[in-house]
Amino acid sequence: MTRAEFLARFGSVFENRPDLAEAVWALGPDTGSAEALHAGFATVLHGLSGEALTDFLNGHPDLAGRLMERGEVTADSAREQGSAGLDALDAAARARFLALNEAYRARFGIPFIMAVRDRSAAEILSGFEARLGNAPEAERAEAVRQIERILLLRLRDRFAG
């Protein structure tokens, strides 16, 4: 696979950060399977400095947030949030998500990140509420674990397609 082919296929796996996919390419990743390639993406993710990681985390949209409402999220995010029904919430549920997004950002300084595929809106709300009680360091680590899960699912999609 050439660099151009790699970036065309995997450049959007990291949310709005094709430069990070470029860093994966520079590692000479194993592109034989989603799981093998995931290791390269995880290496780049875990190699981000504290500030760079915070910037990356802040590049993720709020779940059921205003960017989703305006259609300003990536195709992957729209598909993932839609699969959980977050694009079809009633007014009360949308208001609850917006309030939790604000509380989470106020407490942790980053958006709430969860791999939402195959989850219901109720499961996501429950996770939101439970994670608000985490210590900041624990929550940051959980956000990274969730991104790793999102990456693997997105890579599997690209290999399946």
pLDDT digits (tens, 9 = 90+) for 55-81: 999 999 888 888 777 888 888 998 988
pTM: 0.92
Residue 60 appears among annotated catalytic residues:
yes
pLDDT in tens, 130-144: 999 999 999 999 999
Nearest Cα to Cα of residue 110 among 15, 43, 42: 15
Listing DSSP states for 28-79 in one string gives ----SSHHHHHHHHHHHHHTS-HHHHHHHHHTSPPTT-HHHHTT-S-HHHHH
Domain ranges of the chain: 3-160
* Active-site residue identified among 60, 131, 140, 154: 60
Residue with tokens 């430069």: 19
* CATH fourth-level superfamily of 3-160: Oxo-4-hydroxy-4-carboxy-5-ureidoimidazoline decarboxylase (1.10.3330.10)
